[in-house]
Structure formats: structure tokens, C-alpha cells
Structure 1
Amino acid sequence: MTAAAMAADASYDPVLSKLVTSLKEAESLSSEQELHFLQNLLESKEINALVNVHSKVAKVCKDNKCAPLMSSSIQVALDVLEHLSQRCHISPICKEMFYLLQRPHVQSLLATHDAIAQKDFYPHLPDIPIEVDEDEETVKIVQLVKSNEPLGATIKTDEETGKIIIARIMHGGAADRSGLIHVGDEVIEVNGINVEGKTPNDVLTILQNSEGTITFKLVPSDGKGGQRESKIRVRAHFDYNPENDPYIPCKEAGLGFIRGEILHIVGQDDGYWWQARKECERTSRAGLIPSRALQERRIIYERTQKETNGDTKSSCASICSTPPPSPDSSNTITCRGPKTKKIMYNLDENDDFDRELIATYEEVSKLYPRPGVYRPIVLIGAPGVGRNELKRRLVARDPEKYRSPVPYTTRAMRPGEIPGREYLFVTRDRMETDVSAGKFIESGEYKGHLYGTAAESVKAIVNSGHVCVLSPHYQAIKSLRTPQLKPFIIHIRTPPFNRLKATREANRARSTFDDLNSRGFTDEEFNEMIHSDERINFLYGHFFDEEIVNDNLATALEQLLVCVERAESEPLWAPSSWVQ
């Protein structure tokens, strides 16, 4: 199509038509191939359609015919979802709105609205370079008012030049909010004191002795000064106290946290020290935390040191340090293997494998509940702690809602048993084949017979719209914690020794270490239960969504019901791979 034809066609933008016409004048400046490519691009219907849309949107915005009320509607929608999640059980309208706002089409519409409101459709052109005399050094003067809040910047000595430079700007800190101090800026003076030849500690001493306004004389860095916060959230799998970390660049800038807390990683520019703030403290200044790579190296080093020093005891001892015995117990907790119990152990159980897993941070996102699809409730705990009894009471409360999968076994059917009610009876050859094929989330052998729970049994309950309740051996976490099942895992914990013994004796609890359940627990069994609880917490504590201390069955059941209700109705943090 010629330029004249484009000008005559109303669907083509007149500016593009003029550009095509002007190409004839540039034939001597560029190659024929480049001109031909550019002409085809300008004449394409797709480009003209985009330019027309852009022009109309720009004109509407310029004439203020439909000025946006806000430019953050997608964030407002997320805040509304948070509020609605607490009220879905009250009003059907709230429930309908809750699921409507989660639809991808609605969220895409809101995101498009924000893009237009923020005028993201305008082309972003680079700044015009300013010619500066190379012999003249640019210097900027920055003044900050000193308060109880740290300045939010760290400094270091440049290894090549020996000069003091800004090493890090903490997101949300005073230096960051000023917008005037950037990473890489060279520090020349602080409050009129020349810092040439001084160390970072000398500069910090000057800052500590300063009162009121602090004046910096800086040479701007060549890099861009802007910092963009990332949107990554992680769940911490370890405790961290910067006061006890001798290697942190600045203890005052550190952020302490405990295992299980959700952290917003706002900066990962440094390979060793990330910047983060707690998700529950969104307005606070970011702090330094060890990066995943640094923390992994520390854990590996600690394990290597233990092995080098000969700390290679049994797997139980190396997994979890033995807790001191209770005051009223004369039996020291040992690392002997457990007695024979009526519990299914995975055939390929291996604590050493789990001990070698390095748990640092896990990226998480909010997992919103879906109508008619319930997350499996998984109760994990030490043998004898009462998780099976809690499961039985929960299912008995509403058998139409809560279901447990029927286990498989290779033993013969006993009088009064009905296939599919107590057990699903199969041959040993078939079960061994299915176990090898990975069809069981847990399996084990007891008195010469195989027992196990099939993954398909769990999926069938979930797909039928019921809440699947499980109380497997803790090794089953590896098979259950998948994006397909999205389980809500609760650790049923033991109370302290005295409380554990008193409550079990008061309720005349029968020992699960005895086949006939004909006697109570011994002190040694109570100690083994506590030790197993600590061992499970050490190995898998970072996988648990909740903890319930079972020192009273009625109270523990009420707490369990609250947890189940949360899993059904509230958006909760879960691995990001489950949400994508």
C-alpha cells in the first residue's frame, strides 16, 4: 500500500502515513533492506491499530473525560478479599463476591485499569545525556536529621580505591526515604570531617557522636539510584538473631525472626545479605537477613564440624540433641529404637536423608479457598500423643463432612469385618507391586502383614467434596505435601513430662506400646514420646501449618476445629508452587 493510499484510508494513522512518505527522503542514509523493513512495519495493520488505540486513550485522559478515581484497584481488590475471607460464612453475597474477585478475568481487568490510570501506555524514553566536564567532579550535599531510627545505610571500603562508599541502602529507612543517597556514592565528608584514609568504623564513630542534623558530602555513583522492591514472600525455616551473628555487616540493621514467620524479601542485590521486613510489619524499615546461599553454607559447615569433631552418634542423637530428663523421672532419655507399636512405618524410612535436607527459606503465596474443594487435614505426632483419637473424634462430629481413607492390608479378613469398611484386603504380591510403584503415601509391615494408605484413596475423598482427615506416620509428609493435594498439616505435640503423665493417668489412657492396650503408659514410654516429639519437630517442624499441644483432648479438639475452619475459609500462606 502506498503512502497516498494510507492517507486516504481512515483506519490508518496520519502520523504513520507521513513517516512512510518521509522514508523516500532517507534512501541515501540507510540501506534498502532497512528501509524496506521499516516501511513494512509502519504499513502493517497491527501497528496502526495499536497507535489508534493509544491515541484515543491518550486523548480521553488529556481531556479528563474519564479521570480514574484511583490507580491501585488491584491492591484494593486484594484488601477486599482479605476482609471478605472473614465473612464468607455470614452472607451469601459476601461469599459470591469473594469468589468473583478471584476470577482471572476480573483481576486482569483491574490490572489493565491500573496500567491506564498510571499512564503506563506512554513510551519510556531514556534521559537526554548531559555533557559534563570530565575534569570536574560532581559533589552533592545531603542533610539528614538524626533520630532514634537508624539511618538505614551501610558503608564499606572500596578494595581498589580505598575510598569509603555506600555499600547498601535499607528499604524504607531514612536514607532510602530521602531519595538522595544511593549505593556506590563515595563519602567525602561527614559533618565537615574529611573521611579520606579513615575506616568504616571511624566513620561510624563520627555518626554516633553527631547530634541533630548530619551533613554528608558525596560523590554520586555512576549507577542508577532507584531501588525497586521485590514481591517475594518466604517462610523462614530457622530462627535468626542478628545480635548473635558475628558476621553481619551491621547488627543494628539486622532483622531477627523465628521459624515459621513470613518475610517480605524486598532486596536480593547482595549475594550474602538480603533485605527483608516481616509481612506483619509492612510499614517498617527493612533489615538484613542471611541469604539462602549464606545460610546453606553455614548449615553445611556446622554439620561438617560436628562430623570432624567425632560427633557421629546414632541417627537419633545426630538428628536432635537429647533433652534433659524431667525432674520427676529417673530414666534418662536414650537413643534406643522404639518398641514394637501398632503404627505403620514407611518401608524405605530414612532419617539420615531428611537430616541432610537443608531448610532455609520457602517461597510462599496466599492460597485462597475454593468452593467445594477442601484441603486434606493431616495430623502428625509422636506415637501415643493422641492424634488418632483426635482424628476419630473429628470424623465422628460430622461423618458426612469428614472422611478418612480406608487402609489396605494383606492379612486375612477376620470374623465380623466387611471389606472396604475396616480394611481393603489385597494379596501381598499386589501390594508390594503398588508400593514399589509409589501408589502408597505410607506403608509398613506389622506382625508379618503389610498395611498402607493409598494416594488414590486420599484423592477420591478430596474429589468427592469431603474433608479428608489423616493421621499418618511423619515420614508420609514427603508423599502428601504436593501441589495436587495441598494438605493442611498440624503437629500434635506433647506437653511437658509432668503434665503428660498427669493427664494420661487421670484419663486412664491405655499404652499404645502394648498390643492389647491393657495397661497404662510407663515413665520410660512418656520420655520416649517426648523425645520422638522433639525429633519430629526438628526434622519436619518447618512443614507444619499449626501446632496443637494435646494436654487435654477436649481442648485440643476445639483447637483442631478452629484450625480446620481456617483451612476451609481463610487465605493462608502456602508454597508458591501450589498457587501457580
Structure 2
Amino acid sequence: MVNTGSEDERQAEIDQLRATATNLSQCLNALQQRMDELEIGRNETSSKTPQDNHTDDQKFINDGPHTSDVQVDQRETITIDPSTGVRKRTVVTEKVITTRTYQPLSSPTDSKKFNISDTENSIERHLNTILAQAYEARMVSVNSDDLRKVDVELICGEPVVTRVTPEISNLIHPGDTIIEVNGNPVHNKKELYGNDGVVRLKLVTSTIYNAPMVFCRALADYNSDLDSKKPIDSLSISIKRGDILQILSTDGDWMQARKVNDLSRVGLVPKSLKGEQVAMLTPYGRRVLVLLGANGVGRRTLKSMLLSQMPHHFGSIIPLTSRAPRPGEQHGREYEFVTKEYMRELIRKGEMVEWGELGGEIYGTSAESVRRVVRSGRVCVLDVAPQAMKYMYSAEFMPFVVVLSPPPFDELVQINKLRGATAKTEAQLHTICEQNEQLLHCEYAQYFDLILVNRNHDISFRRLLDSLNTLKQEPQWVPLSWLC
């Protein structure tokens, strides 16, 4: 049972937030209207002669700023994205309105008039109140024994909380990324769990990609506050039919999950809730990135750059092999070690993207390994032989095909001289150029989307990202059965 007082308080809070949202909307509309008026005025004066413009500027200086509705301040900065190395030029234009006043809708607690600066401050305060507590980093202190009961999974190299216990659920939430332990960066579970006594943690809400990529579309409404069977009171969530949930962990009859349209909404959801398993498709519009090129042209280097610098958006498969593991190798890391019979069965069923034999053993890429990456919402990056296009070019995989080509031979020779000990022989350079010519004129050339001449890996990487960014769209949700 939920007492009436709590329900009344919640309704009052909802009414207050609704009034705040209405107030913000009215303020933003007023600001937008004024900016439109100023843009129209600027366009009307743009046809004046330079002498006319000088006169207007001089009049503004003589009369003082109080005679104008707007002052313009423009600043330019150049930054380099640390994750991609892309140089970015940003021009910021500030318009300061000085004379106009607007009357936003009055809130239940305040009916006074606001000028523009008051309105902007009001908007900032409201947004900080609503958003900051949910998404800004926060510091918590917990007992080390309680911390060891928290389930953490390393995703993209970061420790992400997937399950919490009742003792600690009011401090640490499923979906939190642990940034620091006692002021030190944390990279593995040993650094997290190897402390005694009180431990101080720095937490942030993880991104949708930096958490288990298991999703469900709710087919019924659910409010955990009304469920007396909920085992952890502090993990509350309200779900409407059609909401997409990210399932962080399952424990008995309950799932610890969060809503993808508000990652701060984390709670307990019964496994019996009607739902449909769904997958999030990559935001790049294509599901597979195929890298083709002659041996030695640098496609594996480009692939490594994508996987290391952008692991949230790009992933790769784990190949299959019939050979036995070598010392230090682990199943599921270097390879998936299977039997020859199993691989031959996949080949007969048409479930291998490509395969080959070496030293009496079979190596290859299964279609299911590609599907696993796609189901995680990432682009699957493959460096394969051109013959794999027979399998990959389909509505299921929707590949973006990139050919990495060498520069002309004479230029390639000059670049090769700069490589020192890693330089190739002239015969090897001839082979690279010949293989490239064969590739550009092969039967699969009709499928090529982009040809990159690789003179420099960093430049080729940025050009590839620029091309992929033109394909970006809102992530789409499809039934999981579509990707099986």
C-alpha cells in the first residue's frame, strides 16, 4: 500500500515541474521571437554602404549602449578533439539584449516580471536543478565490505555497475561508471575491490554504449512504487507502454534496468513484465564497415585506430579457428577455438562470411559473430578479402565499403624511405600497387562506397570519420529477431 500523503506530494511535485516546463517554454519562445526580429533588422541594414555602416557605428559609440537593443561579441577558438584528432574551428557570437522586457507565464510561486537577464538566469537555474543532479559526477563514501557486493563489469575499459544490493542502493546505482577510488583512477576490479575500510568513489552516469547492450520494449505500464513485492525500496522506476529499457542485470524474478530516454531513471522491473526484446542499430546508418585493400597498405592500422579510439561506436568480431590454443591464448579473446567438424557445418549452412585453411587448420569469420556486434549498437569493422562481399552485401548487414589505396608508385617510394627499419623493398611496393589495381577493377568494384588514398594514417582516419559522419541518424530500435 502507498499512503495518500506520498501520492499527494508526488502529484504536487508533478504539477510544479509542469508549471516550470511551461514557464521555460514561454521564455524560450520570447527569446526566439526577439532573435528573429534582430535577424530581420540586420538583413535590412546589410545593404547599406560602408560609409552608412560607419555612421551607425559612430552613432552607437556617441549615444551609448542604452540606445541599442543588442550588442554583439564574436570570439573564435580552435580545438583538437582528443578522441579523434579532428581540428575544430568554433565561432561564438553572443547577442546581449539590453532594453526589452518580457512577461513569461507566472509560476505558482512567483508572478513578477522578468527582464531578459532574469529570464536567462531562471532558465539556467531550472536546467541545473533538473539535470545536474542526475548526470554530473558525484562523490560517495561506502564501506569496503558493502562495495564488494556490488557487481561491476568492465565495458570499453571502464568499470560499470550492473547490480547493487539493498545496503548500498541509495549511494550507488546500476549504470554508474566508477571514475575514481580514493582519488585515484580505476581501471580494473582489483583497484576497486582491493581497499579496506571506508572507500570514497567518484561516479558518473554511464552512456548508453558504456553498459550492457541488452534492451527491451515495455508492452505494459508499470510503477515500482505501487509494487509491495519490490525487494529494494530505493530503486524506483515508472514505465509506460512503449518505453525502451536497458537491462543491466537480472537476479531471480527481478531485473535492474534504466530507461534509455532518461538514463538516470534506474529501478527494479519484474521479469514477468510484458516486453519485447529489441536491438539498437548503429547511429551511422550502416551496420558493417568493410575495409578492403592490398596487403601492407595499412587497413589493419586504420581498423585498430577505430577500435581503440572509438570503442563505443565500433567493434570487431572474434574469428573462429579449429587449431588448439597456444600458450597464453584464451577462448573468446584471440579466437573462438572450435572443432573442424563445427566449422565445416557452418560452411555447409552458409554461415561463414569467409574462411580458409592454413597448415591443415581452418580459420574464418562467422556471420553470427558479426550479428553479435551489430546487436550491441556498434558498427562491425571487418578487414576481409574482396570475395567476402558476396556474403556481406545484403539488406541484413548493410555494409559501407571502403578501399584503402596506396599513392602513385613514385610517391609511395618516397614515403617508404621515411619508415626507416620498417621500410619495404621496392618489389613489395610494386606488389602493393599491382594488387590495388586488380582490386579497383575487380567484379566487386560496383560495391565500393569510398576510396581513400593512404599517404598518412591520421589523415586517412579523419577522412574516414568525416565520411561516416555524413551517414549519421537517430538510433533505431528493431525486434531482436530481425538480427538473428
In the superposition, the TM-score normalised over structure 2's length comes to 0.38
In the superposition, the TM-score normalised over structure 1's length comes to 0.32
Looking at secondary structure, tell me which structure has more strand per residue: 2
Structure with bigger gyration radius: 1
